[in-house]
Amino acid sequence: MNEFDKVQFWTIEKDYSGQRIDNYLISHLKGVPKSRIYRIIRKGEVRVNKGRVKAEYKLTHNDILRIPPIRVAEKEPAKDISQFSQVKQIEASIVFESNQFMVINKPSGIAVHGGSGISFGVIEAIRALRPKEKFLELVHRIDRDTSGCLLIAKRRTYLIHFQNQLRHRKMNKEYVALVNGHWPKATSRVDQALKKTERASGERVVLVDTEGKASKTNFEIIKSFAQHTLVRAKPVTGRTHQIRVHAKYVGCPLLGDDKYSDTQADRVILSQLKLKSFLLHAQKLRFTLPEDEQVMQIEAPLPAQFKRIIKMLGNE
């Protein structure tokens, strides 16, 4: 027997007001195929305030939903991941939390969500750590090997507000990166379109291509070393691998970036620094809150490894 074997009545909370009923059911009826969800809506088995509705119906606060009995395949009990070392590491990385959202200083090497052979990521860990929270969703994503600010919404209204800021380029992100070579002082902005493609090996990469999507990143030099540069990157747009590809375009790819840099040529310095992946840190995140447009800026401290390598390069 599963949790959907009996008729249920759900009262819509304020946070879900305005959401389409099909999207609401897809996110709440875990394990039920989308085709089955659309079928029960179409046949009138799902009722809102005792009446039939269409899939595009937008929910209102205090709507009463009738959910019919739905048989789904029995699943194995979910694993308790709350005691995993990585989960505890993520809990220790929370830099800000309110009733509406939280910001994680995501450690490098941990994915933002599970999948493709990864049993769990940050969002699954946070859900395990906060089992009483009804809503926890990623506002955006950062690469697995990128560390730093990751914003998670605890209310749907906040998720929509934050994503609108991202869409309209009103959320400011600031990164710190260690690149190969001497960054040219005259290059403070890279304005090159980016396009996703696939290599013959099947590896997915992003390339500078005039047929791609418009992409802009502002750069500034923080500190120069003998053979490397510490730079600050402020992406204006938010394309996949944007900072990494724009840095490569300038001729200063991220040290240790095996996708966009020649790590074979760097193997000696990578071995000396004991560096297994690139150093890219989402240091600052600036956004407004929905109620009063209050501006918030969250800063995530540099990881210990990043600080260690900066110190080592400074002593060369």
Contacts of 212 (CB under 8 A, 6+ apart): 193, 194, 195, 196
Among 162, 134, 178, CA closest to 10: 134
Query: Residue 161 — φ and ψ, nearest 5°?
Result: -60, -45
Catalytic residues: 143
Q: What is the CA radius of gyration of the chain?
A: 23
Are the C-beta atoms of 279 and 178 separated by less than 8 Å?
A: yes
The torsion defined by the Cα of 246, 248, 253 and 259, in degrees rounded to 10, comes to 100
**C-alpha–C-alpha distance, residues 288 and 119, integer Å:** 33
Residues 95, 298 contacting (CB under 8 angstroms): yes
Residue 24 tokens, joined: 């609401």
